[in-house]
Amino acid sequence: MPSDDKTTVAKTKTSLSLPAPRRPTVALAVTGSVAAYKAAEIARLLVKAGVRVIPLMTRSAESFLGAATLSGLTGEPVHRTMWDAPGELHVSLAREIDALLIAPATADVLARLAAGRADCLVTALALVCDKPLLVAPAMHPSMWAHPATRRNVATLTADGRVEWLGPVDGQVASGDEGMGRLLEPALIADAALFALTPRDLSGLRVVVTAGPTVEDLDPVRFLSNRSSGQMGFAVARRAAARGAEVTLISGPVHLPTPPRVRRVDVRSAIAMRGALWQALGPDLSLADALVMSAAVSDHRPATPHATKQKKRPGAPTPPIELTDNPDLLAEIGHARAARRPVLVGFAVETDDDDALLAYARGKLASKRVDLVVANHASDSFGKGDNRAFFVSAEGHDAQGTLTKDELADRVLDRARALWARGA
């Protein structure tokens, strides 16, 4: 019968399908603070980053935040007590998760953690769980400063199990100011992501350039390009999250510095050159990999003016004369004796794929680099994702359309592999 046939096909498909790759999993425990509403934003950011978030709420947390908000954002039921599921929920959760994040954490939950209590699902889970335990306190500054809380924080710190995320100095719910405000949700989410990320680049020193360079004509006008810096910042962010020691040399962009990244801001190609050589060292021994994603201006005004040039009818007189900027990547490629550091360049073009690959192969040779990431300006500039090709001495491979973070991870995977085999 047709309907039975359909059922059979459906069943066969199900039994043959492979299990989905396991997502990193965090238990987000919310305790009873006015700042509990910020846990919704933390959950949202983690889910957006691909994390499975299992929400837990203490009884008092529910006075501040609706469970429906957390379960709606995470797609998971909210666990409130140890009796929410058959078996020993705290034990099964401890096995299931990769990290426990308590945010916000009240003075009360700190006291119970410090005493080793297991009087609710959150403290029982904290006791049984051997995964990273991240705690983001939030309370009135007087409670944070109280000797009892100081004692509890000292005990937990001495035990060495807790990674503290804040609190920070600022205004709290009552309007009072002081130490006790919850750390910004984006920073808490980032710390949780960091705790979940394998440190496979630990020990690697990576220098990244990003953004445009700006070449001043006078104090008001300049030559530049449309680079937003997103790709280079993604490389720096992912490298640091994976444990690398990262220096990010950036042209003028409107992007926040990724956590654990040393940032050097520059304006012109000449300033970027100075910062690069300082970061790499005169013998290039201070870095293991250079990812050159900056869109360096090829030219600069030959004579920048100290004062604003007044408009005159017709073409500027005297005409704006340009001079060549040094090719920073080629300069480093030619100075490199052994194939250290690993050199990754970018090629941005506006032609078709064949021309893009041909230009990229040309850059591989002329700049003496190990890998060229080739993409079209229309696929990359100012966009959240990118369609790129990797071009190396071995040939080229299409990476498809990826988010800039995903592409950054692939660039770093290739750089690490090249580094491991001495390029």
> Out of 329, 357, 364, 408, which residue is the one contacting ligand CTP (CB under 6 A)?
329
> Quick one: DSSP state of residue 120?
S
d(CA 347, CA 49): 28
d(CA 39, CA 184): 10
Is 348 a binding residue for ligand CTP by CB under 6 A? The answer is yes
The catalytically annotated residue of 152, 225, 325, 386 is 225
> Quick one: DSSP state of residue 278?
H
> Out of 345, 374, 376, 386, which residue is the one contacting ligand CTP (CB under 6 A)?
345
Is 327 a binding residue for ligand CTP by CB under 6 A? The answer is yes
Which strand (E) or helix (H) includes residue 245? strand 245-250
- Minimum distance between the CB of residue 123 and ligand CTP, rounded to whole angstroms? 52
Instruction: Name the one residue in this structure whose structure tokens are 């949780």.
Output: 192
Instruction: State the pairing for strand pair 205-210/245-250.
Output: parallel
Q: Cβ closer to ligand CTP: 56 or 291?
A: 291
Q: Cβ closer to ligand CTP: 195 or 269?
A: 269
Give catalytic status of residue 225 as yes or no: yes
> Out of 192, 292, 364, 418, which residue is the one contacting ligand CTP (CB under 6 A)?
292
Pick the stretch among 173-181, 309-317, 322-330, 396-404 that binds ligand CTP (CB under 6 A). 322-330
> Out of 129, 153, 162, 328, which residue is the one contacting ligand CTP (CB under 6 A)?
328
Cβ neighbours of residue 121 under 8 Å, at least 6 residues apart?
56, 58, 79, 80, 81, 82, 84, 89, 90
- Minimum distance between the CB of residue 385 and ligand CTP, rounded to whole angstroms? 19
Pick the stretch among 95-103, 185-193, 249-257, 341-349 that binds ligand CTP (CB under 6 A). 341-349
Sign of the torsion angle spanned by Cα atoms 380, 386, 390, 396: negative
Q: Which residues is 300 bridged to in the sheet?
A: 323
Structure tokens belonging to residue 238: 């992912």
- Coil/strand/helix, residue 185: helix
Is 287 a binding residue for ligand CTP by CB under 6 A? The answer is no
Pick the stretch among 12-20, 33-41, 119-127, 344-352 that binds ligand CTP (CB under 6 A). 344-352
Pick the stretch among 7-15, 187-195, 339-347, 398-406 that binds ligand CTP (CB under 6 A). 339-347
> Out of 61, 165, 289, 296, which residue is the one contacting ligand CTP (CB under 6 A)?
296
Q: Cβ closer to ligand CTP: 26 or 231?
A: 231
Is 280 a binding residue for ligand CTP by CB under 6 A? The answer is no
Integer angstrom CA distances of residue 318 from 61, 307, 309: 70, 15, 10
Site string for ligand CTP, 378-397 (x = CB under 6 A): --------------------
> Quick one: DSSP state of residue 126?
H
Task: Identify whether 341 is preceded by a cis peptide bond (ω within 30 of 0).
Answer: yes
Site string for ligand CTP, 351-370 (x = CB under 6 A): ------------x-------
Is 41 a binding residue for ligand CTP by CB under 6 A? The answer is no
Structure tokens belonging to residue 120: 């609710």
Q: DSSP letters along 34-89, please?
A: GGGHHHHHHHHHHHHTT-EEEEEE-TGGGGTS-HHHHHHHHSSPPB-STTSSSS-H
Is 114 a binding residue for ligand CTP by CB under 6 A? The answer is no
Pick the stretch among 3-11, 159-167, 230-238, 320-328 that binds ligand CTP (CB under 6 A). 320-328
d(CA 293, CA 301): 23
Q: Cβ closer to ligand CTP: 58 or 227?
A: 227
Pick the stretch among 1-9, 89-97, 248-256, 292-300 that binds ligand CTP (CB under 6 A). 292-300
DSSP strands (E only) in 88-244 = 99-105, 133-137, 162-164, 168-171, 177-181, 205-210, 215-216, 222-223
Return the active site residues: 225
Binding site for ligand CTP (CB under 6 A): 269, 292, 294-296, 298, 325, 327-329, 345-348, 363
